[in-house]
Structure 1
Amino acid sequence: MSFKKDEMLIMPAVDIKNGKCVQLVQGKPGSEMVEIENPENVALHWENEGAKNIHVIDLDGTIDGKTSLPVIKKILNEVSVPIQLGGGIRDIKYAKKLLDLDIERLIIGTMGIQNPETITQLSEEYGSERIMISLDSKDNKVVIKGWQEKIDKSPSEISNEFKEHGAGSILFTNVDVEGLLGGFYTDPLIELKNSVDLPIVYSGGVTTINDIKQLNETGVEGVVIGSALYKNKIDLKEALKYQKR
């Protein structure tokens, strides 16, 4: 599903770890606040609630370097809405394997930042609209390798580089507030929005319906909601009312 200027896609998060759907606090192993069996059923639940797109992250790939491919395939078999997928995609062969499974958008982080030519190669072969670059920010600096390593550039400083390499969209995660259920601040997002002409999906700290309204007003093309859905702080059907501008 391509992004539309008059729409902000609401994307429920299904994060996979050890075969379960989990929610971590700031991505830290052992900080699970949510653990649910059968992630494919969770994804189907969000589709049945009205989600037009599901955001899937393979935390096993991100944290341990192992992949959750069997679970990813189950999700793809279970749901009919588009899936955007990221986590642990460290080589181009595996990226192509996932794209050949009909993943709508593949989220590339560490590999793309360290080797931007991989973004070019994938976008040329599969189309830029299917390649999303992940710019995760901590203290306004990009972090990679499961948020464990920081590089000395802000997301806005490197965003145009990835547009030139063929990325079709950006996933911007504010690690400072991710998973804390304490809200967020829009300044880093607006700075990024003003620096590059690419669709941006925001993730991190989305806690209330008012947060959804605030994000809609920034002009961002998508928002990922994780812990707030699982902790019943946001009702998906109510959030979906803000998909249209």
Structure 2
Amino acid sequence: MFIIPAVDIKNGKCVQLVQGKPGTEQIVLDNPAKVARKWQGKGASILHVIDLGGALEEGGNLAVVEEILKEVSIPVQMGGGIRSLDYATKLLDMGVERIILGTLAIMNPETVKILSSEFGSERIIVALDSKDSQVVVRGWTEKTDQNAPELGKIMEDNGAGGILFTNVDHEGLLGGFNIEPLLELLNAVNIPIIYSGGVSTLEDLSILSKTDVYGVVIGSALYKGTINFEDALNYEKIS
């Protein structure tokens, strides 16, 4: 189980939002590339970068992503506002190790097949963001009529190399999470699943380490200090 620190970017800064809602910034740091370099220095083996500005259609932060790619040598998985094949291709060509497709993949699963065929399925992750048990899109602002296990199977069939499952109901609240939706998804698909949402204590990591989850993204808990990153890495080594 990989411990994956989150670097969420909005207006050129590293931020942490509550449940992805604009205006709920709890952490605002000026230099995302410096933050990324810090996590690498502490021992991170993967970095999770989300362009919140792109996801919310407020304008992207591509220049900041480029700066992060120059600053770190570990793999970067990146999502947020990837709404076209051209932009997905651009990110993969510029050095993003794995792109995270949300709205684009769910609205048009064929794009997953196209990108997986061209770049390799291991570089294509599909984000399934669940709110009230239904998958949401467009920066968590619109609900679909499908749940994560249903869409997970569709994405696996179309060549996705992994799934990022975010429990939006718990995102940014530091209040723990409900394990059941994750277990249902793990039982439904055979590709790697990365979990995100509500992870706030080492006990949460202990629970996740007992599942077959591939990795866990941690944001607010690291920035607010409720989880010490070096302590979290102990679960990466033993699981």
- With the shorter chain as reference, the TM-score category is over 0.9
Q: 2:218 aligns with which of 215, 225, 232?
A: 225
**Within the alignment, does 1:164 sit opposite 2:157 as a pair?**
yes
Task: Give RMSD over aligned pairs.
Answer: 0.7
Q: Which residue of 2 aligns with 1:20?
A: 13
1:134-173 alignment, distance < 5 Å: 134-173=127-166
Q: What are structure 2's unaligned runs of at least 5 residues? A: none
1:1-245 alignment, distance < 5 Å: 8-243=1-236, 244-245=238-239
Where in structure 1 do 4 or more consecutive aligned residues deviate above 2 Å? none
Q: Give the partner amino acid of 1:54.
A: L
Structure 1 residue 65: deviation in Å?
4.6
The answer to whether the 8 A contact 1:25-1:31 is kept is yes
C-alpha distance in structure 2 between counterparts of 1:166 and 1:64, whole Å: 27
Structure 1 residue 67: deviation in Å?
1.4
* Percent of residue pairs identical: 57
Q: Give the partner amino acid of 1:90.
A: R
C-alpha distance in structure 2 between counterparts of 1:67 and 1:160, whole Å: 30
C-alpha distance in structure 2 between counterparts of 1:168 and 1:64, whole Å: 26
C-alpha distance in structure 1 between counterparts of 2:113 and 2:212, whole Å: 27
Q: TM-score, normalised by structure 2?
A: 0.98
Q: What are structure 1's unaligned runs of at least 5 residues? A: 1-7
Q: TM-score, normalised by structure 1?
A: 0.96
| Count of residues paired in the alignment | 238
